[in-house]
Amino acid sequence: MSVAGGPGGWVAIVGAGPGDPELITRRGWRLLRHADLVLVDHLVSPAVLAELPPGVEVVDVGKRPHTRSVAQEVINERMVASAAAGRRVVRLKGGDPFVFGRGGEEAAACAAAGVDWEVVPGVSSAVAVPAAAGIPVTHRGVSQQFTVVSGHVAPGDPASTVDWAGLARGGGTIVVLMGVTHLHLIAAELVRAGRPPTTPVGVIMSGTTPDETVLTSTLAAVGADAAAGDVRPPAVVVVGEVVRLRDALYAAQAATRHAALPV
């Protein structure tokens, strides 16, 4: 549904991408320039907000681990009520709104209230962060599949719906979002279910930003290595043989004296 320039209020649920402000879509930027109110997640780069037109109201509604957060119901109510009052609302979310972003719930709230709404896809950190760090989630002859899962609930917890045993047997690349807290338990569960303990693991912190840090380890050692390296969210975890390609790609880059592009 197209909303920019239409009469009355509307809601645009916009994916801001994985961190680098240049990775938001052109559609996302255009809607931000038309916004009266931006409800923003805490992982969105401040550089995106710095380019908003004067007078735009910005409200931080981001959810943070282990801290008091704005309830999803409150976010939905403010978003819908503001649009119903004639305001142009951008709900700005990290990554892609429909990849562990609760964007579907927000779209459903808009649809139920009868306000005009649109979802603008974003570049998901699940693939963009590994790619920017030199880890392709698929690679010919190495992995023909990848699975993206949430790690915010520990394996074995009754609330977990992730089939960790099935993932261990599957053999493809596993990408874990929101998995830092339970990384040691996730690694142990994958080994218990059959993945070799020597399976490479990459942990990319603050991916696509100037603060990006990459830890490479194995399933057997990543829990201890992450603790020693003070790994903290936001981080994307990649499990699989594709992690080895990072060193090969950067070695080839160094051999050809290739540096970052100048633009």
| 102 dihedral zone (left: phi>0; alpha: psi -120 to 50; beta) | left
CA distance 119 to 107: 8
Which residue in 20, 41, 96, 225 is the catalytic one? 41
DSSP annotation of 143 reads: B
Q: Which residues contact 44 (CB under 8 A, 6 or more apart)?
A: 16, 62, 92, 93, 94
> Annotated catalytic, 93?
no
DSSP annotation of 21 reads: G
| 54 dihedral zone (left: phi>0; alpha: psi -120 to 50; beta) | beta
3-state secondary structure of 152: coil
Asked if 84 and 2 touch (Cβ cutoff 8 Å), the reply is: no
> Annotated catalytic, 116?
no
Which residue in 20, 79, 93, 178 is the catalytic one? 178
DSSP annotation of 128 reads: H
Which residue in 36, 63, 116, 163 is the catalytic one? 63
Catalytic residues: 41, 63, 178
